[in-house]
Structure 1
């Protein structure tokens, strides 16, 4: 049963679901806090072009190198060696794991909108004791579901993806009819932030990257696909659908309230905006959508986090323990490691009082190197084989990846360097273990 392969529809749902998680429901406030309407449009233009070319890079690489399962890890390894390949796998695994923590934190922060009062804060920003207990229960329920099999988890994700799309459609329809062009023009030229336009665009980059993290989902699970041609199709279909939703949600929001008002809203800000037009039911619709969305995205990302160490262990980049699978063909060591680390991070969130936005930034910065390495590998191979059309696509994708590294800023890049340095301990241990095994054989 669990050896069944994943079809195009389920693969596309995995890509879409992994991208469209908690981020979209807080996107209006996140963006209004750092940019006016002009910067918003420019940022989406840059992101739209960059992310589409990155999607095309993954599409063509999946067809040109069908033997390289798992993409994110194996592309970096094939192009730049074992150490760089490990860094890509480690960075991606950390990105997905920290992102998972952010998902459950925002769910319980949203539930706080219904149960919290000024006198009694139960869930707060998702980092109270009650929130952490609820998050922990959720983590281990998903652990059990994934352990039942990759195919079965993908089907559950497909159903949840359909369910979470409905609230977004409701929001877009309501805000479309309430949209005020004059208000959008005011927000477009708003100078109250007193920050240069280009700096506003730069500040938006990690936010726009975060909502597209997961673009590689079909590639990561490529060994589980029914048809290899579906991998690239699922990636492009998922990106185009997500991009459409993101642009409509944010642009329409700038035509409903002033930028400053949106920036001051409690997250999930989509719920606050919709409640202004259809009352409390708007809060209920968006919060239910958020919970369904996060649950399906959490499931998708757990699948990715489970698969990457397993693939890396095949080449000795992770300890051989990660090659073990259970009776449902699920990499059990990877799954246990991911769930345990998520649990520890939730405890840290409670003690260090971290919130969703801080987790978002840490997760986003860890994906920068893997995305750059995918683009760079595509560019390197296109030049080597003199594929002129592909050189153009790869160049744009690589420039976009470099721009993201620049936009991240020094402090976040230094944090990523420190986290990558921790991973080197695992790499050298695994490398020596692999060498000893080869000698023994």
Structure 2
């Protein structure tokens, strides 16, 4: 893949469902002032994480599919497995969210789709999942080309919306909303910002798209460049999409919009065709992002198997260099989660938040490995002057991810642990498959903590104190 193709993977992974939902999620949480603070925190934290990915790509060019491989290199086999499994699981949940959003978008025009988790919506989603499955089996490079084309197509509706909102910008309306609309319940600023944190994590997912596909890069240095280019471009779009609606609608109106809320925003400016236009853009965008994330899911499972962190079965490729067994498992799991949304009270927001939290542990371990590498000096031969800078970047990224865990709350952390515990079966399978010892003393402690958290989460689900 060239620099353009790798950047397309980053943009295609990041610009998916989340950006079309930003106005409603932010409108329900805060006004422009809180939104600016939230984006300053999220942008700084994710920029630092992007710089960590860039630095690790340069200092450790021998590590491919970096998200989980960095965790293993820095923190041992079981943490490497948890990172790989968590990242893969988060990607699967993200794909489920995409199908729920497709159903919700169609539900605005065809009531039978409801909020995206009706029986009809689930059947259509399952058909879509397996259609994409057999298309991807035909080749990674072909799918990446399709992703590049779709990336261009889905940016157009977003740019049109931004231009329309600039033309109707009403300063007095923006000022009325600035510190939180008078028509909204009073809420402390810290709580306002906290309520936006999970959506900002979700929309930044995919920042590591180029790192995951580093083994396909024509030039290794392009991996880091693609990460930064994709990050800067997409961040600009997301901030504009969040802030501009406050200058055309009351905050309570924005908060009450049906998801994807950007459709309602454009409809309020240009009429009903705006909702149709954005809805078509959402469908193109989500299907393109689903393609990108299906590739990433399979690639992570494949790379983890190649490094002996997953069972040998998942390292097999078909004649088109596609990790077929990994893809089969991925889409089987996605299908099961899609079916489970039928019993969810709010499948849309629940899947979005679960996706965000599940991906935090891999990000935390990547940032932690950045700290360890910069402190050790390994890979910095000849550029020792960059160690201090990279260590600062890594520490800020660590603090940011820890803050995201606190913002998510205990409920989601426990639910993630519930999923991690049975996932350890794959770890045991892999260790036996590759004839390696099961747990080191440190790994056993980590597993015990995870198991206890998982049991607490199960009890919460059974007793009703935790609801999906």
C-alpha RMSD over aligned residues: 1.3
Correspondence for 1:36 among 17, 31, 36 = 31
Looking at structure 1, the residues matched to 344 and 364 of structure 2 have their Cα atoms a distance apart, in angstroms, of: 31
- What SS does the aligned partner of 2:358 have? helix
Counterpart of 2:96 in structure 1 is 101
Taking the aligned partners of 1:320 and 1:394, their CA distance within structure 2 comes to 33
* Matching of residue 432 in structure 1 with residue 432 in structure 2: yes
Correspondence for 1:291: 283
Per the alignment, in what secondary structure is the counterpart of residue 109 of structure 2?
helix
Shift of 1:268: 1.2
Alpha-carbon contact 2:34-2:179 (below 8 Å) kept: no
Q: Gaps (5+ residues) in structure 1? A: 1-5, 117-121
Contact preservation (8 Å) 1:35, 1:193? no
In the superposition, the TM-score normalised over structure 2's length comes to: 0.89
Q: Distance in 1 between matches of 2:316 and 2:203?
A: 32
1:62 alignment partner, one of 57, 60, 82? 57
Q: Distance in 2 between matches of 1:405 and 1:277?
A: 37
**Displacement after TM superposition at 1:115 (Å):** 2.1
Instruction: Give, in angstroms, the shift of residue 353 of structure 1.
Output: 5.1
2:187 matched residue in structure 1: 195
TM score, norm. by length of structure 1: 0.95
1:272-294 deviations in Å (ceiling 9; x for gaps): 11112221210111011101100
What is the count of residue pairs matched by the alignment?
427
- Correspondence 1:136 to 2:131: no
- Is 1:282 the counterpart of 2:261 in the alignment? no
User: Where in structure 2 are there 5+ consecutive unaligned residues?
Assistant: 378-383, 438-468
* Residue of structure 2 in register with 1:171 after alignment: 161
**Counterparts of 1:262-281 in structure 2 under 5 Å?**
262-281=254-273
Could you say which residue in structure 2 is the equivalent of 1:3? none
Q: 1:45 aligns with which of 31, 34, 40?
A: 40
Once the two structures are TM-superposed, the CA of residue 114 in structure 1 deviates from its matched residue by 1.6
Shift of 1:297: 0.3
Structure 1 residues 7-406: aligned runs within 5 Å: 7-116=2-111, 122-190=112-180, 192-352=184-344, 354-385=346-377, 387-406=387-406
Change (3 A) 1:354 1:333: farther
The residue that corresponds to 2:420 in the other structure is 420
Which whole-Å CA distance do the structure 2 matches of 1:436 and 1:318 have between them?
12
- Which 4+ runs in 1 deviate beyond 6 A? none
Taking the aligned partners of 2:228 and 2:115, their CA distance within structure 1 comes to 34
1:18-77 deviation line (CA, Å, top 9, x unaligned): 111111111100111111221111000111111111111101100110110001111000
